[in-house]
Amino acid sequence: MAAAEAFYLLGGEATFISGDRRIKATGGSYLFLPRDIPHGFKVEAPTRLLILTTPAGFEQFVIEMSEPATDLTSSPASPPDMEKLTRLAAKYQIEILGPLPE
C-alpha cells in the first residue's frame, strides 16, 4: 500500500525525508509527502503531530503496532519491536526501506 501522507506539526521539531529532499520542520509546519516517493521522518524533540494518510488503512497498522502509554510525560523506554514492525508492515503492504539516511 503506497500512501500519501500529510503532516501538521502542532508543536515540536522533526526532520522529514522525501526522496532526495530533507526538510526540518517545527510547530506550525505543514508537509505533504506524496505516494510512490520513499519518505519518512525523525522526531528531533518532544513533538505533537496530526498525520493524514490516503488511502485509508494505515491507521490499522498504527493501532496494531501501538502499546498503551504507562507514563504520559516521557518517551518510550525502548525502541520498537522490529520483528513485530516487520510482520505488521508486510501485513499492511508497507515497504520498510531501512533506517533514514543521516
Per-residue pLDDT of the chain (102 residues; tens, 9 = 90+): 578 999 999 999 999 999 999 999 999 999 999 988 999 899 888 889 999 999 888 899 999 998 887 877 777 777 889 999 999 999 998 888 877 777
Collect all residues with Cβ–Cβ distance below 8 Å to 34 and sequence separation of at least 6. 4, 18
Q: Distances in Å between the alpha carbon of 1 and those of 42, 54, 73, 78, 85? A: 21, 10, 33, 28, 15
Q: Distances in Å between the alpha carbon of 32 and those of 14, 25, 40, 69? A: 14, 12, 11, 28
Q: Which three cell numbers stand for residue 70?
A: 504507562
HSE (side-chain half, CA atoms, 13 Å) at 86: 6
Is 4-91 CATH 1.10.1740.10? no
pTM listed for this prediction = 0.79
pLDDT for position 1: 59
pLDDT for position 89: 92
Write down the domain spans for the chain: 4-91
Q: Distances in Å between the alpha carbon of 71 and those of 35, 55, 68, 77? A: 34, 32, 9, 10
